[in-house]
Amino acid sequence: MSNPTENEPPGSGIPQIEDDLDPGMTTTFFSSPHRHTQLRRVMLRVTAGPDRGAQIQVSRPKITVGRSAVNDLVLTDTSVSGTHLQITLGDKRGVLLRDLDSTNGTTVGGLRVREAYIEPGTTISVGKTDVLFLSADEVEIPLSGHDHFGALWGASSTMREVFAILEKVAPTDMSVMIGGETGTGKELVARALHDESKRAEGPFVVLDCGSLPRELAEAAILGHKKGSFTGAISDRPGAFEEADGGTLFLDEVGELPIDLQPKLLRVLDRREVQRIGESNVRKVDVRVVAATHRDLRQMVGAGQFREDLYFRLTVMNVELPPLRERGEDILLLASKFLEDFARIHGRAPQLNEEAKQVLLHEAWPGNVRQLKNTIERAAHLSRNAIIEPADLHLGRREGRPVAKRESGEGEGGGGGGLSEELYAMPFKEAKQHVVDEFERAYFARLLAKTDNNLSRASAEAGITRYYLRELLKRLGMHKSSKKSDD
C-alpha cells in the first residue's frame, strides 16, 4: 500500500509519519489540512454495525476501542479484537490513530492503516463496525500553580496539568495507576503521593514486580511462615503487612505473572492477607499505588493481565509524558540536578550556551533518568567549572570534525589513519568522534543489507529495534532526523 501523502512537497502543511514502521504498512490520512489545535475532549459515535447508535465523550490523552471492558468505547462486534485501536490526543502533529495489532485490521477511507493522523469527521472502520470521530467542546484543563510536586519538577503546561491531578488525588486513599516510559519518574510520583497524604507518617514500601523471582513472588506479596517452603528459615511479613498504615508501591505491576494476579486481587478486595503456611488471616490498611511502562489495556485484551485487577488498580490513571514532549523543562531539570550536585560536592559547574543547545536537541530515550545521569557525569568531568558539549557525551553533533583515513600515514607513524583534526581535540571528544563514524559506517551497511527494515537490522545487530532507532536518530540517519534538519 502506498502512502497517499508520500510525495507531498515540502511546506504543503501535511505532516507525515516517519518512524520505524515499514512505510508500506503506514498510511497518513487527512480529511482536511492539519491544524495545530489540540483536542482535549472528543466524541466517538458508532454509525454502522451491531452497536449502531452508541456514542461516548472522552477527555483523556489516550482512547481505546475494542471488545474488552477496559476500553473507552466497548463494542460487541465479534470481528473486533479485545483492544483493537488507540487514539492519542495532544500529539504535536495532530490526533494519532494506531491499530493495536488487531486480527482484522483498521481501515480509513477504504485503506488499511497501521498508523494515521486523523481529523474530526473521519470514519474509522473496524470489523463490521464504523466509528465516526467527532470533535466536542474544548475543555478547560486546570493547571497547577506550582512547578513541582514532591521531587518531581516541571514548569511546562503538560507537567502542571499532571501536578493539578496529583494535588487532588494525594489526600485521598484512591488507588492510582501511574503510566509512562521508563525513566519518567513514576516512583517519584508514588513517593510524593504518599508524602502529601494522611499516611505520610506511615511506611512507604516498594515492591518491584519486574525483579521478583517467580518462586518468591507470592511470599514477597503475602509473607510466609517459618518452614512453609525450602529457605523459609523464619516467619516473615509480606509487602502488604510491611506497608500497613502507609502506602504500597507496586512498581512494574505489568510484569506480575498471570497466575499470581488473582492473589493480589484478593488482598486488594478483602484488605487481608494470609501468609504462606498459615491458616489465619491478618487485616491490613494499605493504600496501593501502581506503575507500569506497559499498555495494560492492550495486555488485558491479549489475556496477559486480568481485567478485574486492572479496574481495581486504575481507579485513577496518571500518565507521565516523556521528556521529549516537555522540552521547556529540560534546562529547569538540568539546573535542579546541578544544584543537587553542588549540595553534595560543594561546587556548582554551569552549562555554557552550546551545552544547553545540545541538551535541548537531544531525543532523551531514557527520559529524566538519562538527563540526570548525563548532568552528573558532565559535572564530574567538566573543567574550570564550565560544562561544555564534549562533557555531555551525547554523540555526534553537526559541525564537528569526523574521523577519516589519511593515505599518507603509515602503520609505523602512530597516526592510526586518523584526521589531524582529531589529535588537536581532547581525548574523550576525539574518541567519541571515532565511535560515531564507526557506528555510521556499520549501520549504513547494515541498513543497506536489510533494505532499511529496522526489525531485521536490529535482529542482525543483536539490539532492540527501539534502541536501533534511537541510535539512528542520534547519528542523523533516521528519516525524522533528516526531516527536522531541512
Q: Could you report the per-residue pLDDT of 157-166, keeping only the tens digit for each? A: 889 989 999 9
Res 138: pLDDT: 59
Please write the tens of the pLDDT for every residue from 107-141: 999 999 999 999 889 999 999 999 999 875 555 66
Measuring CA to CA, which residue among 342, 339, 343 is closest to residue 331? 339
Cα dist from 484 to 8, 16, 87, 361, 477, whole Å: 16, 12, 25, 11, 12
Q: Return all residues near 413 (Cβ < 8 A) that are at least 6 apart.
A: none
Res 5: pLDDT: 40
Alpha helices, H only, 55-202:
157-169, 186-195
Please give the average per-residue pLDDT across 396-400, as a whole number: 44
Res 482: pLDDT: 44
CA–CA dist 244, 449 (Å, integer): 58
CA–CA dist 74, 125 (Å, integer): 14
Please give the average per-residue pLDDT across 423-445, as a whole number: 77
Res 44: pLDDT: 93
What's the pTM? Answer: 0.66
According to DSSP, the β-strands at 272-273 and 129-135 are unpaired
Res 68: pLDDT: 92
Amino acid at position 89, single letter: L
Burial class (CB in 10 A: 0-12, 13-18, 19+), 322: middle
CA–CA dist 263, 365 (Å, integer): 35
Looking at residue 140, what DSSP letter applies? -
Strand ranges (E), 55-110 = 55-58, 62-66, 73-74, 85-91, 94-99, 106-108
Res 420: pLDDT: 64
Of the listed ranges 134-138, 243-247, 303-307, the least confidently predicted one is: 134-138
Measuring CA to CA, which residue among 419, 342, 433 is closest to residue 379? 342
Instruction: Provide the 3-class DSSP secondary structure of residue 248.
Output: strand
- The pLDDT confidence band at residue 382, using thresholds 50, 70 and 90, is confident
According to DSSP, the β-strands at 152-153 and 122-126 are unpaired
Residue 417 pLDDT > 70: no
Residue 266 pLDDT > 60: yes
According to DSSP, the β-strands at 386-387 and 350-351 are parallel
CA–CA dist 42, 39 (Å, integer): 7
Residue 177 pLDDT > 60: yes
Res 336: pLDDT: 95
Residue 231 pLDDT > 70: yes
Higher pLDDT: 298 or 1? It is 298
Please give the average per-residue pLDDT across 221-239, as a whole number: 82
- The pLDDT confidence band at residue 432, using thresholds 50, 70 and 90, is confident
Residue 236 pLDDT > 70: yes
Q: Can you say whether the dihedral through the CA atoms of 143, 146, 152, 155 is positive or negative?
A: positive
Residue 368 pLDDT > 80: yes
Cα 294 to its chain centre, rounded Å, is 8
